Structure 1
Amino acid sequence: MPPSVMSTSNSADVLRSPAAVSAIGLRKSYGDRTVLDGIDLRVPAGSVFALLGPNGAGKTTAVKILSTLVSADDGQAQVAGHNLATDPQAARAAIGVTGQFSAVDGLITGEENMLLMADLHRLPKAEGRRVAAELLERFDLTDAAKKPASAYSGGMKRRLDIAMTLVGDPRIIFLDEPTTGLDPRSRHTMWGIIRELVTGGVTVFLTTQYLEEADQLADRIAVLNNGRIAAEGTADELKRLVPGGHVRLRFTDPTSYRNAAATLTDAAPDDEALTLQLPSDGSQRDLRTILDRLDTAGIDADELTVHTPDLDDVFFALTGPATAPTQPKEEVR
């Protein structure tokens, strides 16, 4: 089994849900290059599962296998209760896939893209038009429905892409890096769409390189590196795997700084910046202890900041800084 961390009560509830997607020992190689080296996955129904990893880690290959686009060399997988090796057609009927690159045809209108998808799902004409109209309205694309999709913005194309995926009413959706290249506003809009899908009972299997995206959306996260699952758990559980939490105290008065350094002997001093750094888990109890020590000594710090490990720290610790994603972190308010 892949490395994981102890579940909290909330994550335990998720894990008790039936598995929408499960895999044991999945392996895939291309020539002499091993892309997936025996990975195990379990995605509870009605949840968001995020698969993180640097470029080339095997995220897209995992999605292609689980969505029946390619076959695994070894291992077993079930999607929506169907064995991919023996009943791939039944699995396909239960899933929708939105890949890294848009499936939207820019030469036809948004409405025509939707109706084409309805035809592919063999919906009756009237039913296809009804479903297309409902989804275009749901994704705020009604006003642009008659325009060529080539005129859509990146965010509009991505919304149309997911709307097309929902024409067949899938229970499980694979989203392979759905927000790559989108501006922050469009990305946040996409997050809202994903949350809405899950509220409606859909299971979302998400791959992403935006770590704040996984932190915001995912019930559980797995980090894939060199074809193997390096760790799995909730965002909070993964953050607890990484040491390095600390409190930083800054002083403007050199005398106060020296007195604080003499009082807090376990702190790492920076004489030039007049700062002290103490190991801390960031808990209220830990902070109170530090402040009580300063109060007892009659010392006031001019600034106190708390750093707790985030998913960036987890990612770097598990995959190494050389393979870390290059997208800038976005502060989520």
Structure 2
Amino acid sequence: MVRLNRTAIYSFLLVFIVLMYLQRLRNKYFLQNQESEDLNLQKERPPLIEYTIEKFGVEGDRQNYSIQTEKHSDEYCIGYSFLKATETFREPDGLEPVTLATHATSDMIDAIEMMPQLWDGPISIGVFVDYHSSNVLEFLSEIHRCDIRFRRKMTVHFAFRRAPFQAECPLFELKHSNRSCQEFYASHEYLRNSIVGPFQLYPSNLMRNIARKGAQSDIHFIMDGDMIPSQDFATKIKPIANEIVDGKSRRVLAIRRFETSHGADIPRDHRKLLKSKRLHKTFEFHHRFFAAGHHIDGLDDWFRASGHSDMVSTKEVAYPLFSVED
């Protein structure tokens, strides 16, 4: 009798397992059919795009661009103020705004788009292009028209290397776009992915100087395009920059620069920076290449002082090699 009961129980369990397995197969079948139907619906109608206020609130004027490029050292042609910021950031305090003067290539388009979120002030950028990457200028003109933050802050210049036997620099012309901003952002990823980098050497010093010359203010913070400034740096540095950089004395305002390990969060204030440094995720910039040359003196004292006060201060450091910088 006991043996029959065990057999019945085992049979019941086996039937139960088989039924559960069949139920899972049935659910999987209906789920695949539902996903297939959803995919077909997505193909039949355009994807829904969620717009931010900055990107969709106010569309800039559509315009044709016509810029006479300038010759530089018989090798390059430069177009200044291809796109011009709509705001000067000149406030009643009478202080000169600090312009972020930077440079980039077309394959750094992600960093270029991110800059207005990282710098609360005017930005002047020199973009190097060639035949293969010139479509970045049309893309940037669309960003300038459709993104309020970009339009408020960004002044964009460009340069390219002259072709052999080219006597003069050309007139650069770009017709206005027929796309709406909704249409542009609907194809934003596709358009951005179609931009390639320039297939030649990149004149970084030239592009940096173009950004400085084309800046809309007299005080410039020089930074590579892939660098990330600390939180609210533009507004915090403005008073002390106006005090030190007067255009008469040969003084510059230097800052400490760090690099963060790949994949780690980039700290944007001194507290997070100290924590990241203690975890060995953040280091002095380029310390691996030449530790002695990139060591920052007095770093521990700076962290201690920053921990006790949020006031921005400076410390004068003599630079004995200034004569070679002329």
Same fold flag (TM > 0.5): no
The structure whose Rg is larger is 2
TM-score interval, smaller chain: under 0.3
Higher fraction of strand: 1
The TM-score normalised by the length of structure 2 is: 0.23
TM-score normalised to structure 1 length: 0.23
